[in-house]
Structures are given as C-alpha cells and as structure tokens.
Amino acid sequence: MLVKIVTLFLVFMVVMGAVQRWINPKRKIGKRDQTRLGRPRKCPECGRFLIGTGTCTCKN
C-alpha cells in the first residue's frame, strides 16, 4: 500500500512538472538569472570583497 502511495505521488509530481513546462516554456527551471547581478565591490587597498555598506577593516 505504501509503495502505491509513493508511486502515485511521484507520478503526480511528474505530471505537475510537465503541465508547468507546457504553460510556461520560456522559464529555465534550475537556472539562476545572473545577468542582472552587478560586479561585487572590492576594497581598493587590499582587494577584499566588501559586504554591505561598511568599510574595509584594513582602513581602521
């Protein structure tokens, strides 16, 4: 009985994925859109990546 429930669940998930891909075919599932991300900021002195709006620790 448990195997039947798991099998039906997996078939249902495959059908849902196929319907979603049919409704919205242009969306790439699993791919991140990184074209809108800017280059990360770096400290001009030491080259460390700057996180947030704070200054680098090398300037203190």
User: pLDDT tens digit string along 26-51?
Assistant: 766 566 655 667 788 899 889 888 88
Q: Which sign does the torsion angle of CA 39, 40, 44, 47 carry?
A: negative
**HSE-CB of 49 using CA atoms within 13 angstroms:** 4
Dihedral, CA of residue 29, residue 30, residue 35 and residue 41, to nearest 10: 150
Choice between 7 and 20, residue whose per-residue pLDDT is larger: 7
Higher-scoring residue by pLDDT: 55, 3: 3
pLDDT at position 30, please? 60
Mean pLDDT estimate for the chain: 83
The answer to whether residues 43 and 58 touch, using CB atoms and an 8 Å cutoff, is: yes
- List the domain boundaries for the chain: 1-27
